[in-house]
Structure 1
Amino acid sequence: MNRIRSVLLGTLAAVLLAALAGTALVLVQGPEAEAAGDSLPLPPDMPRLAIGPQYEECLGRLRRDPEGALAFAEAWDGAGGGEGAKHCGALALLATGETEKAAERLEQLARTSAGSTPARAAVYAQAVQAWMLANQSGRAFAAATMGLTIAPGDLDLMMDRAVALGTLGRYADALGDLDRVVAADPERAEAWVFRAAALRRLERVEQAMAAVDRALRLAPENAEALLERGIIRQLRGDTAGARADWQRTIALAPDSAAADLAQQNLALNEAGPQRR
């Protein structure tokens, strides 16, 4: 995957799966702002809003010193740094936990930027993810929709909008976006995971199992896929299989949001029968 979403996907995946779960075996918890601070900056292949050494230096500082990057961006912006300074500053705010402020700035920048369509779409995607981390799913949906008006084929934005739709309880709409993603890129494992969750929430459990099996064929050690398959197995009465999947989730990604949810599911599984 590209863009900032490679950093945030683990958290967003668990958030979407939690929102789509519809079962007492998954406890919905909002994403934590500090998740944005882990190895935040843009990969080198992402379309840039600006060029030049100051932009690259500011983005590079995000990796090791987000507060320093914020100070650098603010000083640079005050000296006429333009879109590059504003973009780096917004990402630095996200990295330091100011998720709502970062989302507002990223969305405004994506809307008004003179940059290329791919670069603007990438910034819209960052705004979507920042809104999600700020627990503002409605704003995330709106930002994703605006991004898709300028880049209707952007699969990352479709994925991000599906996440927002799932947390809003709009499962059929989320499934529509996910269907478009897997039609365009059938090798995208995380899209199959999210699709499985949406199908299950729509009570299409057998189709959900087929989708998560597809995800695990593509990525056998995908923690979110194992979390989801465990939920489906539990719904089908396969308690032992569910337990094995959740234990594997924790072993593969012990510090992830998916592992936290798997641990909660295991505890509830041990405490008594499934409740809906």
Structure 2
Amino acid sequence: MTGREGGADLAPPGPYDPVVILVRPQLAENIGTTARAMANGGLFHLRIVAPRDGWPQERAWYASSGAHRILDAAEVFDTVDDAIADLHRVFATCPRPRHVVKPVMTARGAAAELRAVSDRKLRSGILFGPERAGLDNEDMARADVLIRYPLNPRFMSLNLAQAVLVMAYEWFLTEDTTPERELMTNETHVATKGELENFMSHLIRDLDDSGFLRNEQKRPGMVRNLRHFFTRGEVTEQELRTLHGVVSELTTGRKARS
């Protein structure tokens, strides 16, 4: 099996989704891992400007982890001007703007702007520079907006696929509806207040029988502490059933030993 066989069944690209433009990329493996990063974030248009070792390169397909369709459809151009000629807005990633007067956005801000451009049915692209030096001043002069990632200022080095993945991730989040927090309950459910109160009654009854709550003065506070403990998180119905069994076993086991 060659690197081009098989591959993931990727969704067809939207006509106004941003184009990822790799300017003078040096290694086929980096182009392949870039395609993988694009697929992760739902970006499918890839253009390659003056790849150092030509195109196509079989090693890119091997490195793409199944993102073959992106590489199959990739377009190759001789110059940046050729690659962006049909676009309406161009963004360029730039770790250190060098004497350039242009708007600078974070990846998140740029993703929101790219989504707005797409919603207006305009075509946009994002320039990513060569692995060793990044985009030069002539490349950045073609862009409307520069993108600078807010990273650790003491170490901002990213490889090509990482740089693309940051933008692809932020692009994906602009329409993602995944809740920021949820409890995975699998085949059970979060216990209702009634189920929780049923367990508390069971627990308190047995604690009274065992003498644990014999101090009448401290009993209300001890019961409240137990109630706070079980209401602090989202206890599931399955967990309550287990706890019912624990309390019952402790009670019957103690009686059996006496």
Structure 1 length-normalised TM: 0.22
The structure whose residues are more often strand, as a share, is 2
Structure with the greater alpha carbon radius of gyration: 2
The structure whose residues are more often helix, as a share, is 1
